[in-house]
Amino acid sequence: MVLVHGGPGASACPYEAIGDRLARRVPVVFYDQRGCGRSGKPAQADTYTFARLVRDLDELRVALGLESFVLWGVSFGAVLAAEYVVTYPRRVSRLILQAPPIVGPLHPGAIALQPAAIDALATPVTRAALRARLDGVEDPVQRVWLAHAVLAEDVVTRRRLALRNPDGGADSDGKDEPDFGFNETMARALLATMRTDLIDDLADLDTATLVMAGLWDGNVGVDSARDLVVRLRNASLHLFHRSAHSPHDEEPDEYLAAIEAFLVNG
């Protein structure tokens, strides 16, 4: 089982604690995508493409000596995992998609809707700053970038987006996570090239898929997860009622049980 982390531009580190618990049942492999976390940055920034990241992931599969594997994609990582299975459907035995921002051509896009989600949960000062900064800006990627620039100075709102209970979110192993920083170059390149027809390609497959979402997720929302399950041929939805974007932190026992049941029963 391979964890495909989110961002884009973050690292696998936030999921390693829950992965250690999951590894008692199934081997779990973590890797940081190119230019992220503990991976070196490529010499050429134009290699930050979905096609190259899919090839990187397949090279990892080959290095592990696997004919196929379970992919566990989280947030943006769910998009990359979906791109991989569409490219190499026979190499993925099962697919887990947590908080997947995968939407169809008629949807405005989970990423494009992020400023509205931030506004809903923001402190009054941040809400005022958001509305001022985004006034008159129509390009969806630019709106997201400006919104996150405002959000960078507001720890309270950032925690509200990640956790349903921002004052009681758990670090499941009690350890401080290393700060690897954030790869802004990668994020800008990939956010601008997420394709809206991915859901159509994914719907052509019959790969057993578990879609997981927190009811209070302000980053991606619930509707895209629900609609994805409706479209896919062989998918189920697990909704976490006391979680936001990070059910692996807020409801770790239920999170583990859902994955373990899926791996056993499909």
pLDDT in tens for each of the 266 residues of the chain?
Answer: 999 999 999 999 999 999 999 999 999 999 999 999 999 999 888 999 999 999 999 999 999 999 999 999 999 999 999 999 999 999 999 999 999 999 888 888 888 888 988 899 899 999 999 999 999 999 888 898 899 899 988 999 888 888 888 776 444 444 456 677 789 899 989 988 999 999 999 999 999 999 999 999 988 889 999 999 999 999 999 999 999 999 999 999 999 999 999 999 86
CATH code for the domain in which residue 40 is found? 3.40.50.1820
Whether residue 34 sits in one domain with residue 149: no
Could you tell me the residue range of the domain that residue 221 belongs to? 2-108+163-265
Whether residue 183 sits in one domain with residue 135: no
Whether residue 180 sits in one domain with residue 91: yes
* pLDDT at 172 (0 to 100): 41
* pLDDT at 161 (0 to 100): 84
Whether residue 140 sits in one domain with residue 29: no
* pLDDT at 38 (0 to 100): 94
Whether residue 185 sits in one domain with residue 91: yes
* pLDDT at 140 (0 to 100): 85
Whether residue 32 sits in one domain with residue 78: yes
* pLDDT at 181 (0 to 100): 78
pTM beyond cutoff 0.85 = yes
Whether residue 151 sits in one domain with residue 181: no
Whether residue 96 sits in one domain with residue 85: yes
Query: In the chain, how many domains are there?
Result: 2
* pLDDT at 177 (0 to 100): 67
* pLDDT at 14 (0 to 100): 92
Whether residue 259 sits in one domain with residue 128: no
Whether residue 196 sits in one domain with residue 126: no
Whether residue 73 sits in one domain with residue 150: no
* pLDDT at 109 (0 to 100): 83
* pLDDT at 176 (0 to 100): 59
* pLDDT at 182 (0 to 100): 87
d(CA 212, CA 239): 6
Whether residue 146 sits in one domain with residue 46: no
